[in-house]
Structure 1
Amino acid sequence: MTTSSLQPGSTRSRPKWDEAIPPVLRPLLRAYALGYASVVAPRLLTLVLQLVTRRSRDASNTTIPKLPRESFLVSLRRILRGGLALQRFPTFCAALVGGSTLLDVLSRFQIFISILSFEIIINGRHRLSRWIATFVAACLGLKLLQSRRSERFEETNPVKSELTPGTIHHTTRYAGRTLDLSLFAVTRALDVIVGGLWARRRGRRLASGRWTRVESAISNLTDPAIFAISCSLIMWAWVYSPSSLPRAYDKWISSAAAVDTRLIEALKRFRTGEIRYQEDTGQAPLLQGMCLEYKWPLQWGDPAKAIPFPCEIVHMGCGPSCEYHALSRCYRSCKWSMAMYLPLNLLLVVRHPNAKGLKTALLSACRSSAFLGSFIMLFYYGVCLARTRVGPHLIGRNSTACNKIDDGICVGSGCFLCGWSILLEAAGRRKDMALFVAPRAMATVLPRRYAWDKQWRETVVFAASTAVVFTCALEDRKRVRGVLGNVLGTVLEA
């Protein structure tokens, strides 16, 4: 026992769980464990919450048959076993990380091509061999995920056969299941490359004393701008083409927005021209149903008579004031999000509870709730600005101008404004949030399904992007910004 270990206040470093494992295999096991936890943990949490909800409901209502205990155990076993399947995300993580590290080790013993040997060692590091190793592992790992069949990416159609009488059913497979993952890798690779170039420029400019306020503003506003632009595309897609968003993402936005689906449908019909002001196209019953529920005059829902629809319809019972509606939206959304963010932040301090950690968790939950509340408030107020406060003064109040406002301008205004609520978040979180929404925004302008024979293009792009990110993370984890850099640094270290 050393003298330092006996000194008051000294702490011993706890042995790592994978210390007994050979160093070359540690990244593989860490990646598998992390991938398994990311797949299983959310589903286990959902299952436990469902069980608690059902038990509280059963206790208050004895007429409802109680949920058998066996069904919970069956669901639990299905979740735990599902994460162990070969074609699932944990195996992909292990193949990607383990394959890249193992291939890199092999390449150091037998250099790939002797002609390239002088390029492989750059600054004492095997950058090229590491890039190639990760590229190969990423190709194989993504192919493993893509090989899993999914009904959403298959289409069965009857086909007449010339050889046999009658018709046969032909199944066509489509690619696109891994699109979100590939776009995530592309976004991260672009961030690493562009961020590296900008950091070099900044270093040179600072050294020469030529760093300007404009360049400083660009550095500070890049992440908020990426977030705002990405959210604009996502919210536009949520209104007009929700099928371009992942189902879980679309469902979460709908829950947060708390909007009557008839309003969204009316906006879509304005966009397609099915609803036009001063014309009777048979669409009046859509919003007149809302008029009956909220006890408004029926003519408010008739586009032939109400030019435009009163903004009070958008407010959904909050009165005629656009400002009061915006503030009420902010309050309700903050309360809704606080119930979500506060438990998550408190979980982080359960292991080592203290007053400082509790205060930090509370402040973090309040800030995140204020961000989400402001996001929703700005979206709705942007719609009102275009429809009532500003739009009519700039475009006009006749039926043609009102059609233009309601067939896209009002939604576009809300989409443009909402993302700037990111400025309420801490600067450290802005980059993670920007890089989280950017690939989802890119997915809205790309087809969710495409021809199976074009899948190799996605595989190559994913593998090249992942190779860039892994190579940079191994050299300096700080080059990969945000949480991902810390995670990769921890997983890839020997």
Structure 2
Amino acid sequence: MSKHHQPSPPSSSTSSPLKSLSAPETLRPRPWSTHIPSLTSESFQLSDDPTKPSHVALRTYALALSLSLGPALVPFVTKLVKNASAGRSNGKTWGNLDVVKLKRVLRRELGYDGFAFSVTLAVAGGAFVKNLWKGWKEDLDGRPSSASNNSTYEAALKQILLSWISKLKTLLASLTPEQETFLAHAISASLGVVLLQAGTNREARLRALRASATTTASTANIRKQLRDATSPTLDLTLLLLVRAVDSVVQGVIMRRSTPGPSSGATQGSDVNSHEFGEKGIVPQVVVDKLEKEKARRDKEVRQRWTSQVDAFVFWVCSARIMWCFFYQPQRLPQSYVTWIKTLANLDGRLITALQYIRQGTWSYIRGPASPLHASLLQDAAKDLGFPSSWGNPSILPAFGGLAANEVWKTLGVQSRRSVGGLPCELLHTPVGKSFGLEMSCTANASLRMVKGFLDAAAIYIPVHFFPLILTRPRALLRPHRFLSTLLSALRSATFLSSFIGLYWYSVCLTRTLVLARLFPFISHDWWDGPFGCVMAGCLTCGGSIWLEEGRRRGEMALYVLPRAIRAFLPDAWVKSGRRGVKIVEQLAFILSLATLLTAASHRPDSLRGLSRWTLAFVTNGPNAGFWKRRRRDPSVPPTPSVPATPSDS
């Protein structure tokens, strides 16, 4: 056949089914499911990669559900155990167990808008979006850069879509790995916080409706209460905000303490040239060692300064929290108020009296504002075994000096010579009466320290030993390891007992032993007021943090800081119900969670304490350095570690 009769190649403007079948695999459109790694079949197979979205979701859901559903089921389990011997069914209860309430709790925690699912969406959704972007970028790299030459509407539409895809490809390519991670988690956190707040608001409405069924509250009052109530997610948002800011600060510290890359061998002026050659060239190995040693020393100095800053933060926060405990307890979580009241071992009527003194309705100078105020501490004195006159502000001396001694002689009080105010026996009796030491301020503080130490030891010993029992039980067989753990727990118990003792002794030093004696002309309306003995106790109790270990000071500071921030926020702003307040909280939640998850993936050393342990488990699972080293070597330190991702290099 001559070349004039050879068939010409098909035109690019024509298409053939055979050609479409023989087209390269990279040019074929990829199924939508390939962009979703968590839905592919290989995601459900056993894999050594714990960073898959499905694995992250499972770990996050399990952890979140244990934190929310576990405490909610404790009352039911306790009641079921107490009534196990009854074993009878009675209508809506089984063994005196409220089945309706149990179903309500399960619906709240296991629902799509519950805490566990919302947090899983916020955390694991970022890993899903990040892998989705990765698939898109790979798919975009394989697409042709131009459309066909058809003049049809379909070809024009393809051209527009390809131009958009090209812009999207350019945008994704310009992002750094950290920016991609942050943006992906910000998107998922936005969905998670909206779902979480919707669930909490729905539960608040249902709770208000159930309460209104037993009262005469109108619908308008219920709506006003819901609108003026504090956001249920505010405490969680403040917790994430504090941890995120701490990770940013720690990241700056870590970067400054990291040695920079050296440019090769360095001319040594301080090194003996006989050891390294005639030209005095210092080998690179020695230079690296010197730089690492310098970086290690700089890091230790910064860590010491960080520890001191943590102690100062704890001191300031504890002062604010303790002051609010006495005068504005509504600013603190109710569980926190109950815990402080249990450790303080203080009659609630004395706290109410302090609040009345601040309001001016219970005064040593003007007397009580009403019979109700007058009988408050009179009943308390009678219940403690003292004359009721010891709690009557109209009889108690407002100032110190000789006039006060005459009053005390009449009342039979022997422990308040030359000072006025309420007798200290009313404060000391709950602890010191059984020992006959209710008249001694020093004995009161000492006994409260001993009791606080025993209570704190019962808390801290399980806290220190339980992780060892779960992860490294063999380590407890080593005497030095067991002893060091025990000493660490006792040191923490000493810190908490000193916190209690310092507060009580500062109160007595202010209103009885020292200051009130030096300034008898100052009224006890001031000494027993919000800026007298209470303020002195609040300012001194936080100093016990210097007894704690340096690495634990940071965790203690991060624990109290969210509560202190909440105590500083004005109630008029928090409970206003304005749209702007909700938006600010949502933005804080989104940015904080995205920052923490980005740090867990790219800067794990910037996390510390509980946030580092939790995020190491959630994002990396058993592949995290913390968990892997625990399996290999039981003598590793307790602080978790996450290996750097390849994108960091």
TM-score, with normalisation over the residues of structure 2? 0.63
Q: Deviations 1:441-494 (Å, cap 9, x if unpaired)?
A: 111122353315221121112111221121111102121111211221221128
Structure 2 counterpart SS, 1:308: coil
User: Higher mean Cα deviation, 260-269 or 441-450?
Assistant: 441-450
TM-aligned CA deviation for residue 391 of structure 1: 2.7
Aligned residue for 1:413? Answer: 536
CA distance in 2, matches of 1:341, 1:98: 33
Aligned residue for 2:246? Answer: 191
The answer to whether structure 1 residue 128 and structure 2 residue 251 are counterparts is no
TM-aligned CA deviation for residue 252 of structure 1: 1.7
TM-aligned CA deviation for residue 341 of structure 1: 3.9
User: Higher mean Cα deviation, 227-236 or 348-357?
Assistant: 348-357
TM-aligned CA deviation for residue 355 of structure 1: 3.1
Kept in 2, the 8 Å contact 1:135–1:467? The answer is: yes
Aligned residue for 1:426? Answer: 549
1:65-76 matches, cutoff 5 A: 69=95, 71=97
Aligned counterpart in structure 2 of residue 337 of structure 1, from 428, 449, 456: 456
Aligned residue for 2:579? Answer: 453
Aligned counterpart in structure 2 of residue 182 of structure 1, from 229, 237, 261: 237
Kept in 1, the 8 Å contact 2:315–2:542? The answer is: yes
The answer to whether structure 1 residue 235 and structure 2 residue 322 are counterparts is yes
Structure 1 counterpart SS, 2:394: coil
Aligned residue for 1:366? Answer: 490
CA distance in 1, matches of 2:552, 2:295: 31
The answer to whether structure 1 residue 87 and structure 2 residue 113 are counterparts is yes
Q: Deviations 1:327-356 (Å, cap 9, x if unpaired)?
A: 111111222333344455554455536434
TM-aligned CA deviation for residue 212 of structure 1: 12
Aligned residue for 2:388? Answer: 298
Kept in 2, the 8 Å contact 1:231–1:415? The answer is: yes
Aligned counterpart in structure 2 of residue 40 of structure 1, from 53, 56, 69: 69
Aligned residue for 1:29? Answer: 58
Q: Deviations 1:19-73 (Å, cap 9, x if unpaired)?
A: 69892321111111110111223344554445556679x9xxxxxxxx9547288
Change beyond 3 A, Cα 1:332–1:132: same
CA distance in 1, matches of 2:80, 2:313: 40
TM-aligned CA deviation for residue 260 of structure 1: 0.1
Partner amino acid for 2:609?
G
CA distance in 2, matches of 1:309, 1:438: 34
User: Higher mean Cα deviation, 293-302 or 380-389?
Assistant: 293-302
Larger RCO of the pair (alpha carbons < 8 Å, separation 6+): 1
Partner amino acid for 1:406?
D
Structure 1 counterpart SS, 2:594: helix
Q: Deviations 1:242-286 (Å, cap 9, x if unpaired)?
A: 111112222222222221001101110111111222222243322
Aligned counterpart in structure 1 of residue 426 of structure 2, from 307, 310, 313: 313
CA distance in 2, matches of 1:140, 1:452: 21
CA distance in 2, matches of 1:183, 1:451: 17
Kept in 2, the 8 Å contact 1:311–1:387? The answer is: no
Structure 1 counterpart SS, 2:113: coil
Q: Deviations 1:257-316 (Å, cap 9, x if unpaired)?
A: 221001101110111111222222243322111221223343322223323112222223
Change beyond 3 A, Cα 1:178–1:209: closer
CA distance in 1, matches of 2:424, 2:352: 16
Aligned counterpart in structure 2 of residue 355 of structure 1, from 477, 480, 483: 477
Q: Deviations 1:405-441 (Å, cap 9, x if unpaired)?
A: 2111211111122222223333332222211111111
Q: Deviations 1:191-227 (Å, cap 9, x if unpaired)?
A: 1122222344455899599969996753231112222
Kept in 2, the 8 Å contact 1:349–1:361? The answer is: no
Partner amino acid for 1:457?
V
Kept in 1, the 8 Å contact 2:319–2:538? The answer is: yes
Structure 2 stretches lacking a partner, 5+ long: 1-44, 87-92, 138-166, 210-217, 260-290, 397-419, 433-437, 622-649
Partner amino acid for 2:425?
E
Kept in 1, the 8 Å contact 2:254–2:299? The answer is: no
CA distance in 1, matches of 2:203, 2:596: 29
CA distance in 2, matches of 1:482, 1:74: 39
Kept in 2, the 8 Å contact 1:371–1:424? The answer is: yes
Partner amino acid for 1:250?
V
Q: Deviations 1:131-164 (Å, cap 9, x if unpaired)?
A: 11111111111111111224389989xxxxxxxx
CA distance in 2, matches of 1:96, 1:224: 32
User: Higher mean Cα deviation, 211-220 or 226-235?
Assistant: 211-220
Q: Deviations 1:79-103 (Å, cap 9, x if unpaired)?
A: 5564312222211221011111111
Aligned residue for 1:163? Answer: none
Change beyond 3 A, Cα 1:209–1:227: closer
CA distance in 1, matches of 2:483, 2:105: 35
CA distance in 2, matches of 1:180, 1:18: 37
Aligned residue for 2:131? Answer: 105
Kept in 2, the 8 Å contact 1:32–1:93? The answer is: yes
Kept in 1, the 8 Å contact 2:257–2:299? The answer is: no
User: Higher mean Cα deviation, 302-311 or 459-468?
Assistant: 302-311
Structure 1 counterpart SS, 2:367: coil
The answer to whether structure 1 residue 397 and structure 2 residue 487 are counterparts is no
TM-score, with normalisation over the residues of structure 1? 0.80
CA distance in 2, matches of 1:130, 1:216: 28
Kept in 2, the 8 Å contact 1:188–1:469? The answer is: yes
Change beyond 3 A, Cα 1:40–1:344: farther
Kept in 1, the 8 Å contact 2:307–2:551? The answer is: no
Change beyond 3 A, Cα 1:350–1:473: closer
Structure 1 counterpart SS, 2:120: helix
CA distance in 2, matches of 1:78, 1:154: 11
Partner amino acid for 2:583?
W
1:374-389 matches, cutoff 5 A: 374-389=498-513
TM-aligned CA deviation for residue 324 of structure 1: 0.7
TM-aligned CA deviation for residue 390 of structure 1: 3.5
Q: Deviations 1:2-33 (Å, cap 9, x if unpaired)?
A: xxxxxxxxxxxxxx987698923211111111
CA distance in 2, matches of 1:305, 1:87: 59
CA distance in 2, matches of 1:355, 1:46: 36
Q: Find the structure with the greater CA-based Rg.
A: 2
Kept in 2, the 8 Å contact 1:380–1:414? The answer is: yes
**How many aligned positions are there?**
454
The answer to whether structure 1 residue 151 and structure 2 residue 151 are counterparts is no
Aligned residue for 1:137? Answer: 188
Kept in 1, the 8 Å contact 2:248–2:606? The answer is: no
The answer to whether structure 1 residue 220 and structure 2 residue 346 are counterparts is no
Aligned residue for 2:282? Answer: none
Kept in 2, the 8 Å contact 1:119–1:128? The answer is: no
Kept in 2, the 8 Å contact 1:153–1:176? The answer is: no
Kept in 1, the 8 Å contact 2:251–2:603? The answer is: no
Change beyond 3 A, Cα 1:326–1:153: farther
Task: Give RMSD over aligned pairs.
Answer: 3.6
Partner amino acid for 1:86?
Y
Aligned residue for 1:468? Answer: 595
